Amino acid sequence: MGEEKAKIYFDNGSTSWPKAPGVAEAVGRLLTEGAFNINRGNYEGAYEVEAAVLDTREQLARLFHAENSRRVIFTPGITHSLNYFIRGFLKRGDHVLVTGMEHNAVMRPLRCMEKEGVTWECIPTDREGNVRSADVEGMIRKNTRAVIVLHASNVCGTIVPVEEIGRICRERGVFFVVDTAQSAGTIPLDMEEACVDFLAFTGHKGLLGPQGVGGFLISDSLDEQMEPLIAGGTGSISDSLDMPRTLPDKYESGTVNLPGIIGLHAALSYIEETGLDVIHKKKMELTEHFLEEVKKIPAVRIVGRQGTEGRVAVVSLDFEGRDNALAAFELEQQYGIMTRVGLHCAPMAHRALGTFPGGTVRFAFSAANTEEEVDRCAAALHSMLD
């Protein structure tokens, strides 16, 4: 028996780990020192938690360059956020454009809405996951209500040109929805500049917070037209049976995930202190190194873009001639390398990339990974395939 080596976590596309320094402590402190409820409790401890939640909204507004932090809404996660828009806003007769790279967090709610008379079309997407903004212009119809795109692919990491698409949407009076699951905390996104009306985020991936918390940022114009999907108690205008129109209450019925938000607060503080550019640079250096090493192995194909340009630190590999699941299993069992294999909840993306139904093995790096870990992974791949 050889010396047991530390496991390597390359599944940061599913959820980041380790979480940012201070997250576990912040959650622990809340739970042990007073997990009082906001918008309900009328005592100092509850107000302290409320102040921290307000700070977190302000951090998120700064991160996404939103004008008003009141437009930051917390949800249990990005899937809920996207459902808020797709199932809460779209109506019979509405038409929607999506990219061919969308996650099922978008496609399944859209599929549900087909029964309600909503139609959708795919913007052409090539074998590298690229989408051309010029194609969007010609696809917008009279009844197109929204364009929904992910900022970066969760399968191959390709970045969608959201700024260009957003400008087209604004010019044509179409709401623009961006899913930042794989980009938040890594690449900057200015929602005003990119004309984003609905920005969905998750707290537990690149934002380095705990699972179970996410949200969305909403523009004034969309908010005026959108009704809350979930209704219930908010701790405000309790004399009325109607939902409040004031934000964030309009979209935040019930008790929000306070341990999640407090953990996210600590994670965002870490990101602000460290700097998005520093985090991104580290991730891309690891990605570049990994891509270089993988290119030396003929039995493995990089799916999507071959270099670091126009991508995030998510790389999919196809172990040609082998079952990708068996390859991932071997990586984990023999070498302690944790990845994600399969279709990544994005069957359309795999069809576009030519990897359906075999799927791929996904390696997603965080700034906590090291070059030494990438080297160990490359050595493992050589050992498996040479």
Partner 1 sequence: MKEIQHYVLFPNHDNGMRLYKKLKEQGVKAVIAPTPRSASKCCGISLLVREEDIEKIRCCVQENSIEILDIVTVEKDVNPGRDRYC
Alpha helices in 196-297 (DSSP H): 220-225, 258-274, 276-294
Q: Is residue 177 a contact point for partner 1 (CB under 8 A)?
A: no
Q: Is residue 237 a contact point for partner 1 (CB under 8 A)?
A: yes
Q: Which is nearer to partner 1, 39 or 104 (CB)?
A: 39
Among 4, 224, 239, 242, contact with partner 1 (rule: CB under 8 A) = 239
Q: Is residue 248 a contact point for partner 1 (CB under 8 A)?
A: yes
Position of tokens 């042990």? 32
Q: Is residue 249 a contact point for partner 1 (CB under 8 A)?
A: yes
Helix and strand counts by DSSP (H, E) for the chain? 12, 13
Q: Which is nearer to partner 1, 49 or 294 (CB)?
A: 49
Q: Is residue 276 a contact point for partner 1 (CB under 8 A)?
A: no
Q: Which span sits near partner 1 by CB under 8 A: 42-50, 110-118, 213-221, 369-377?
A: 42-50
Q: Which is nearer to partner 1, 37 or 119 (CB)?
A: 37
Among 1, 6, 42, 142, contact with partner 1 (rule: CB under 8 A) = 42
Shortest approach of partner 1 to residue 242 CB, angstroms?
13
Q: Residue 4 gets which letter from DSSP? A: P
Shortest approach of partner 1 to residue 23 CB, angstroms?
23
Alpha carbon distance 145, 150 (integer Å): 17
- From 108, 110, 139, select the one nearest 125 (Cα to Cα): 139
Tokens read off for 285: 């250096």
Q: Is residue 318 a contact point for partner 1 (CB under 8 A)?
A: no
Position of tokens 């957003």? 166
Shortest approach of partner 1 to residue 317 CB, angstroms?
46
The DSSP secondary structure of 141-167, one letter per residue, reads -TTEEEEEEESB-TTT-BBP-HHHHHH
Alpha helices in 104-257 (DSSP H): 104-114, 133-139, 162-172, 220-225
Q: Is residue 234 a contact point for partner 1 (CB under 8 A)?
A: yes
What would the x/- binding string for partner 1 be over residues 61 to 100, using CB under 8 A? -------x-x------------------------------
Alpha carbon distance 381, 386 (integer Å): 8
Among 35, 54, 276, 345, contact with partner 1 (rule: CB under 8 A) = 54
Q: Is residue 221 a contact point for partner 1 (CB under 8 A)?
A: no
Q: Which is nearer to partner 1, 220 or 323 (CB)?
A: 220
- From 137, 223, 161, 152, select the one nearest 184 (Cα to Cα): 152
Position of tokens 């795109």? 149
Alpha carbon distance 51, 273 (integer Å): 20
| Strand 8-9 versus strand 337-338 pairing type | parallel
User: How many whole angstroms from its chain centre is CA 241?
Assistant: 34
Q: 322 CB contacts (<8 Å, ≥6 apart)?
A: 299
Q: Is residue 236 a contact point for partner 1 (CB under 8 A)?
A: yes
Report the run of H or E that residue 215 belongs to, with start and end. Answer: strand 214-218
Q: What residues form DSSP beta bridges with 362? A: 316, 340
Among 38, 122, 148, 352, contact with partner 1 (rule: CB under 8 A) = 38
Shortest approach of partner 1 to residue 324 CB, angstroms?
47
Q: Is residue 34 a contact point for partner 1 (CB under 8 A)?
A: no
The helix/strand/coil state of 369 is coil
Alpha carbon distance 122, 135 (integer Å): 10
Q: Which span sits near partner 1 by CB under 8 A: 36-44, 126-134, 284-292, 345-353?
A: 36-44
Q: Is residue 50 a contact point for partner 1 (CB under 8 A)?
A: yes
Shortest approach of partner 1 to residue 249 CB, angstroms?
5
Shortest approach of partner 1 to residue 54 CB, angstroms?
5
Alpha carbon distance 98, 175 (integer Å): 12
Q: Residue 249 gets which letter from DSSP? A: G
Shortest approach of partner 1 to residue 252 CB, angstroms?
9
Q: Is residue 215 a contact point for partner 1 (CB under 8 A)?
A: no
Q: Is residue 255 a contact point for partner 1 (CB under 8 A)?
A: no
Number of residues that bind partner 1 (CB under 8 A): 21
Residues binding partner 1 (CB under 8 A): 38-39, 42, 44, 47, 50-51, 54, 68, 70, 234-239, 244, 246-249
